[in-house]
Chain A
Amino acid sequence: MAQPAESKASRRDFLKLAAGATGVVGAPWIARNAQAKPTTITFARESSYVKNFDEHFQKVLAPAYQKATGIKIEYQIQAAGGGAVPQLVSMVENKSGADLAWVQQEWLYRDALVDVSDIAEAVGKEQGGWYEEIKNLSVDNGKWKSVPNGNIGQLMVYRKDWFEEAGIKRFPETWDEFLEAGIKLKAKGHPFGMSMGHGFADNYSWLYPLLWSYGVTVMDKTGKKVALDASETAKAVDFVRKLYKEACIDDCVGWLDPHNNKAFLTSQISCTNNAYSIMVSAKRDLPDMGKVIDHALNPKGPTGQRYHSLVPVTHGVFAYGPDPQAAKDFLRWMMDPKQYRPWIASGDMYFAPYLHAFDKVPEWDIEPRVKPFQKVLETGKLTSWPAPANRAHGAVINRWVVIDMFSKACTGASTKSVIAEAVSQLKQIYGIA
């Protein structure tokens, strides 16, 4: 948490120090910090899968901010893989822990976040404007409650060599072709591994886009009517059951987020839906496999549409902190292109900015197989889409209502019963009679 300063530097002393710091002279937050009191700001962030990204923050950004303002940044790394949300919830409940954070599932505690509209609007203005869809998460009642930092792109990750061996020259364009390819590959001992367990990313990232591409959403636009109760849902459920039975490895129905990475890297599966972390690990530890991995966009559904699921990283400032303004100043500094662009580049675009200024930057060319992750932003939707991303939506995600609808169908339940159960849960969660 922000600590009160022990020694009081005069405004003049501070400005001298600030003037000496390169790259940040004259920025508005410097003037503000001349009167600021804290000596430390705690920034909580889930451990990123890209080591350089965390290191860049710790070795470059945090010291630079300290040099410029005298404020030390405590970088509190939280465990990755779903563990961060309970930690954030505890922080909010206890009104302690961090001044600002990667606010995962912020719909759960938006009331505890300060308005950061000034920062988000300024950043949007100077960096080409925000992608529209992310506003549905960060903007609540007309106010920005978090500043988007980046999207962890989720795509189809597949073994190009095995696909070619099975006579599949290009990655399937439609879900039906995808099933067909899966049947062929499973017959050759290389099944697909599509996660359907109680994880938080790799299950949502293909099941929701699949559902949408069948023309169904979970709720309607208002978030007051269940839209899942449709005949297309039954078709989607039947398709997933068939895909699971005929093309997938048995275990994937219970997989948590790390399991598909492990299965892919140990050559148990030929395709899954994941971020590009599998390729990073393979290139580092299994160079031969690293060469034959590729990424592809999610297939199109019967509607002819292709969708992707956004996995957003947004930063918010807690209102209960001793000096939220100091944390806001730091956030503004961090999002300045001078700091933000090298930081994003250090992570090899693993976190894709929701800002149009980054659409065609050369950083995307570092690896041709990373480039498709930029496209995720064009067709990417929040899991709440088209309904508001609110608390009720959080409950749907954390109770795996839609995921379990599919996984139950795969483990023997009838299509009718799984849909009825999901609809009844949705009604209970959204308070619909």
Chain B
Amino acid sequence: MSRVVEASGARAITARAPRPFGLSRLRELVERESVYSWLMLTPPVLFLVAFLGYPFFYGVYLSFFRREVAGPATFVGLTNFVILGNDPIFWQSVGNTVKFTAAATILKATGGLAMALVMNQNFKMKSLTRALLLLPFIVPTVLSTVAWQWIYDPGLGLFNRLLVVSGLAATGVSWLGTPTMAMISVIIVNTWRGLPFFGISILAGLQTIPAELHESATIDGAGTWGRFRYVTLPALLPVIFIVTTFSIILTFFDFQLVYVLTGGGPANGTHLMATYAYSLSMGAGQMGLGSAVALSMVPVLGLLLVLLTIYVRKD
């Protein structure tokens, strides 16, 4: 409906039944960009405030208190953070989180790039393969992790059966038995789960690269590596940067996978900051201390978000 018709219609109504607040004025008000945008923004903002903002600020509040389940809160200032500073398990969980995030992200980024390059080729049943490759990302983490528990089983697990049956090893590997192997194992599962996210996002980026660029590079004498190095990779960098940043955030916060697979063990070898925060708050009932661990993750993630924002703005 054009503005003119709208306005005349509104006038006609006003003429028939004069109202104290004209409908046309209301419509005009709503159509103002500043008002309209806020009207549209309000529901999601309220949603975010209720389900993210409130828990976050409540967590910040709790981290300054000694507060146990169903107990009163006592203000302790920065004591919780001081306790954490002297807590070797906290520092172990920080180290584990950094190792876990770095290794899984590097594997996912390189693997995802390779996956996208393959998926960008023409071959039979390409669409079906693409759909199947998304599966790890779609299946609920808890379910797939239970399946991984079986895969890692020392005696009957898929990996060890393959190793023994193929004669590659006399006895299987203790996948979740030692801190180092358990960490490698959880990194493998995280990579498996996160790979399609990288693969599909990078594939989308690949498909936006005009074929002419490749053609002219070929004419200029660039080989396969040359085209990848000087055409494909520079064009993909923005996508890779954004996907990697998102992935770092998601991996840094990962909880379900480790909780189900190892519970943070053995000997705290796979305790991440998220699982440690959970076991302190929900298991040990030390709400304040647990919140302090969770809050300790915020600066790293905040820094990443700032980097991401700067990058997006620059573009």
Contact = CB atoms under 8 A, between A and B. Distances in A.
Interface in B69-121: 69-71, 83, 86-89
Contacts of A394: 284-285
B154 A395 contact: no
B285 A411 contact: no
A256 interface: yes
A250 B154 contact: yes
Contact of B69 (A108, A198, A254): A108
Interface in B259-315: 262-269, 278-280, 282-286
Q: For chain A, which range describes its interface: under 10, 10 to 19, 20 to 34, or 35 or more residues?
A: 35 or more
Secondary structure of the B contact surface, majority rule: loop
B279 A398 contact: yes
Residue among A249, A251, A253, A428 with the highest chain B CB neighbour number at 10 A: A251
A90 B70 CA distance: 10
Q: For chain B, which range describes its interface: under 10, 10 to 19, 20 to 34, or 35 or more residues?
A: 35 or more
Interface string A188-199: 000000001111
A408 B267 contact: yes
Interface stretch (B28-36, B171-179, B205-213): B171-179
B177 to A, nearest CB: 4
Interface stretch (A231-239, A260-268, A354-362): A260-268
Given A109-B285, A262-B153, A411-B178, A254 B265 contact: yes
A254 B285 contact: no
Contacts of B202: none
B285 A108 contact: yes
A106 to B, nearest CB: 11
Given A197-B265, A256-B262, A112 B70 contact: yes
A431 to B, nearest CB: 10
Nearest to A199: B263
Contacts of A407: 265-267
B254 interface: no
Contact of B264 (A198, A391, A428): A198
Contacts of A196: 265-266
B59 interface: no
A201 interface: no
B83 A254 contact: no
A425 interface: yes
A89 interface: yes
Interface of A: 82, 85-86, 89-90, 92-93, 105, 108-112, 196-199, 249-254, 256, 262-263, 266-268, 391, 394-395, 397-400, 404, 407-408, 410-411, 413, 421, 424-425, 428
Given A93-B70, A198-B263, A399-B279, 9 more contacts: A92-B69, A111-B70, A198-B264, A251-B177, A252-B177, A254-B269, A391-B71, A398-B283, A411-B178
Closest 6 CB pairs of A and B: A254-B266, A198-B263, A398-B283, A250-B174, A251-B177, A398-B284
Interface of B: 68-71, 83, 86-89, 153-156, 174-179, 182, 262-269, 278-280, 282-286
